A = this chain, B = another copy of it.
């Protein structure tokens, strides 16, 4: 059931992207790179999370689709820039060549810049949102992906290469680099759906633990996964000398921390006082995925 839900939402998101981007009148190579970047097989977990959080409170998905796509654009831009030679220097992503490899570095920088800018343009021009909804969405998106969120996370992550980190530092980077944007997806979904402030707060905490679960599982997959499943060379973090939970604490301990966080997330879900099994299903998927 959860797999069907994900599949259905993925199709919906991909169709909407197709609709939004296929007719954009841009210089042809730029357009080609943009379409390639956005269709490069992402799992769409963040927008799906936003939609599931929204559906805990309301069923008119029309309101959440633009913010969900905007969030995925921000996620996509961050991957494009993180993969650049000056950053993590990855040639493959999801089993496909990264933009700077398939096209060139300048195009990758510009497509990333353009996606980030377009995400805000997309929300602000949405005809399904009230003024205050646009404002809340842009506040959450810009804060979570900004200097004090994702940008600091990526900066600290780069600085930490070839350096010993302790568990606390690693935790901090995880919260910033992937956690903030995941929290924003959940909060925006809940707010747009009409959640009460204490519910948004509880779901924000749910999102925090879910983000940690996601990242630890990413690290676990990096040491134990198979190339064809995760679409990038296994052990690429180790190659970059990045600290990970399995490396710091051993694989068993990493798994046990992940499970602890999954428990915390469930408690926060209960606090939110909602009945949306999809959210719990997504938590399980995040924590147990093999790709």
Contact = CB atoms under 8 A, between A and B. Distances in A.
A interface: dominant SS: helix
A46 to B, nearest CB: 16
A239 interface: no
A145 to B, nearest CB: 6
Interface of A: 24-27, 29-30, 34, 77, 81, 84, 86-87, 100, 104-107, 109-110, 112-114, 116-118, 120-121, 124-125, 131-132, 134-135, 138-139, 142-143, 145-148, 151-152, 154-156, 158-159
A117 B135 contact: no
A107 B142 contact: no
Contact of A151 (B25, B29, B104, B113): B113
Contacts of A110: 81, 151, 154-155
Contacts of A116: 113, 116-117
Given A87-B106, A113-B116, A159-B29, A139 B151 contact: no
A120 B147 CA distance: 12
26 contacts: A24-B147, A26-B147, A26-B148, A27-B159, A29-B159, A30-B152, A30-B155, A86-B104, A86-B106, A107-B155, A110-B154, A112-B113, A114-B146, A116-B116, A117-B145, A117-B151, A118-B146, A120-B142, A121-B138, A121-B142, A121-B146, A124-B135, A124-B138, A124-B142, A131-B131, A134-B135
A109 B84 contact: yes
Nearest to A24: B147
Contacts of A124: 135, 138-139, 142
